Amino acid sequence: MTEPVFQDPIERSALWFLCALSTAGIVWTAGYLLFDLNVAVEVAGVVVSIATTLALSRRKTERGTNVPGNPDLFFVLATVAGDLFILLACLHARTDLALSSPWLVVSPAVLVIFAATTFSGMLSRSRVATVFHFFAAFSIATVIFKIGFGFDPFIHRAAETALAAAGHIDPKTPLYAGQYAIVAAAHRLLGISLDALDKWLVPLLASTLIPILGIAGLRDGWGMTDGAARRWIYLFLITPFAAMTFTVPYNLTVVLFLVVLCLWPLCHDRRIATGLSLAAAWSVLCHPLLGVPTAIFTAYSIANGRVRRSVKNIVATVLLTVSVPALLALNNYRVHAPTIINNPFSRLDFFWGLFADPFPHPPGIVPTFWTGLYLYHQWLPAILLVATIVVAVCTSRRRAGSRPTAGKTDRSTISILFLGLLGSIFLVSTAFVFQDIISYEQSEFALRLVEILPLVLLPTLGVGSEAVWQFVAARRPSLAPLLLVPVAIAASLSLYLSYPQTNPKSDLSGPSVSAADVEAVHAIDDLADGQPYFVLANQMTSAAALREFGFAHYLSAGERQTLWYPLPTGAALYDLYGQMTYGEPTIETMRAAAALTETNRGYFLTYRYWPGFEWLDERARGISSAWYPVGNGAIIIYEFDNLLVEPDSYANQD
């Protein structure tokens, strides 16, 4: 008997592409770690990925009976036209200035149009319109920010650039290597700009694999009809989807995790199980924080029917709970950092704090609209959990759609995944204190997993939502489309919350890397004239230095070495920058940085957008030997010479 595989050639092609990409990522990563990323390794990755894909797809497949309906041309055109307007508006707003939020340069009309196109897309029954809509949702920052979006992408891009140039990065480590190897190898094989490859990798994969394979999984695995699957795939837009908007190793694992989440009920098909196993293995090599839970869940799904259910459930829950804490402890051991383990029940406030309002303000200070928006954001996971439980109970006897192939284990399986991740979040947030990480990033690992929890619920919520749709459509067909209005509104709110925000409530967004940052790092390098130097600057200028020079200069920092800019942001050089910026610029702080790095020359930067810029500028000029404005005065560079000599005074000059 022929194994069931997706009937649609586009869906099969997407699955084989996932297999090929995952296989290439695994081979290139293994080759890089064992040898170097050379021509032989690159060719081996291509050959093995092609051979694997051909082996999986060589058999003929049965054509199913669940033929998709014809798309509604009106709604297809409405969706595509609206999304095209959004992308053109973002392209018109494209800038290289320091920008804290894309919503400062695009009209609020974009959010209204996005809600409308979400509604029309759900009614269009068109995969093309859906893919284009997801692409528009995930690409806003990449289009608007000309130089780059965020901070972490610059660090990873610098590592990929070094790997592509030399074939290795010292010291070699499997951490992040899954993304580094595939971007560097693709750059060398295809000749495409590494910068473009890195920027677009996650947005493009997310906007194609999630809609195409998600629709197939909801239909063939979760028992929906094809029309229902095309309608409720849009639920993946109702929670903030920042992880799909820019490329870093963790975000790449989120895309792979969502593919596994949609397709796991089909793991009885050996080819799909193989494809998901390859994707899970690659995700571990990209970022183990979510990659290892993805691999555990994939193994659990494949074990369905092969291992006694009670044993499998207990083992999976325990592994999901302890895997991430164990990985963090192992990483501390790898970098020779102490692992501080606390009694988790004595730090429950850290766990509850993950779900608290991150932007607290006194009552009445923030307008009601903004308060309501962030209350909605704060309570969205609980809202989705309650909604999922309600629809699961109400539809427990009657599955949505006509083909309940996912079986009765859907809800118990999802419960295992949800509870395992929740247990892991609890231990990570309460038991661990991380070394060399600044205070406001201590909860970063747990918060990343918190963002995954609502996504786990979405397929089950989709099944229940389709049951409600069928119930209403059978009695009042004209009212059924009204069920999509809350989804469209939620997707629009999610779009806003998925990108950095600057408003009366959210006032913590930092600026993007600007042309002034790039100009500043080149000006400083020219001023140094080949002499060793250190720079006390913010994260964005440090990111610009990595973009322009890579990991060019290392300086002594006691028994360790540090980059010549404040990286990582938890290290001593960044603390000294904080003293200069949040305290008061003093020559003693600059001398402390010079003593730390054993470097006689240093630079300190202030930024015109920074609160209290005039005050900082006046005091920095008073202690520096020279100062230089760049970017039409957007950034001021202060130069300090002979810091290790401790002169009596500095001769100030304009």
In the predicted model, what is the mean pLDDT of residues 479-499?
Answer: 96
Q: Are 288 and 331 in contact (CB under 8 A)?
A: no
The answer, yes or no, to whether residue 299 has pLDDT greater than 80, is yes
Q: What is the DSSP letter of 95?
A: B
Helix-helix angle 270-286:249-263, to 10 degrees: 160
Task: Give the tens place of pLDDT for each residue, 320-332.
Answer: 999 998 888 887 7
431-478 pLDDT tens trace: 877 655 555 556 788 899 999 999 999 999 999 899 899 989 999 998
Report CA torsion sign: 379, 385, 386, 388. positive
pLDDT band at 65 (very low <50, low <70, confident <90, very high): very low
Length of the chain: 654
pLDDT at 190: 94
Q: What confidence tens digit (pLDDT) does each residue in 163-210 have?
A: 999 999 988 889 899 999 999 999 999 999 999 999 999 999 999 999
Asked if residue 608 lies in contact with residue 595, where contact means CB atoms within 8 angstroms, the answer is no
Indicate the domain borders of the chain: 9-62+148-475, 515-640
pLDDT at 495 over 70: yes
Distance CA 253, CA 449 (A): 12
Name, in order, each residue with C-beta under 8 angstroms of 119's C-beta and a sequence gap of 6 or more.
Answer: 481, 484, 485, 487, 488
Q: For the residues 613-639, what does the mean pLDDT come to?
A: 95
pLDDT in tens, 564-581: 999 876 578 989 999 999
Q: Mind listing the pLDDT tens digit for each residue in 332-363?
A: 777 676 767 788 888 888 899 888 888 887 77
- Global pTM exceeds 0.85: yes
pLDDT at residue 401, as a whole number: 42
pLDDT recorded at residue 71: 83
* Residue 557 and residue 436 in contact, taking contact as beta carbons nearer than 8 Å: no
Predicted pLDDT of residue 63: 43
Task: Compute the chain's Rg from CA coordinates.
Answer: 26
pLDDT of residue 3: 46
Mean pLDDT, residues 122-147 = 96
| Secondary structure string (H, E, C) spanning 6-46 | CCCHHHHHHHHHHHHHHHHHHHHHHHHHHCCCCHHHHHHHH
* Mean pLDDT calculated for residue range 51-63: 71
Mean pLDDT of 145-158: 91
3-class DSSP state for residue 5? coil
Region 272-301: mean pLDDT is: 95
Q: Report whether pLDDT(4) > 70.
A: no
**DSSP H/E element including 130:** helix 127-138
Q: Could you tell me what percent of the chain has a pLDDT over 90? A: 67
Angle between helices 539-549 and 515-528 (to 10 degrees): 70
| Per-residue pLDDT, 358 | 81
Name the pairing type of β-strands 602-607 and 534-536: parallel
**323-332, 391-400, 411-420: range with lowest mean pLDDT:** 391-400
Model confidence at 403, in pLDDT bands (50, 70, 90)?
very low
What pLDDT, on a 0 to 100 scale, did the predictor assign at position 400?
42
Please report which confidence band the pLDDT of residue 402 belongs to, taking 50, 70 and 90 as the band edges: very low
CA distances to 272, 303, 412 from 309, rounded to whole Å, are 21, 9, 10
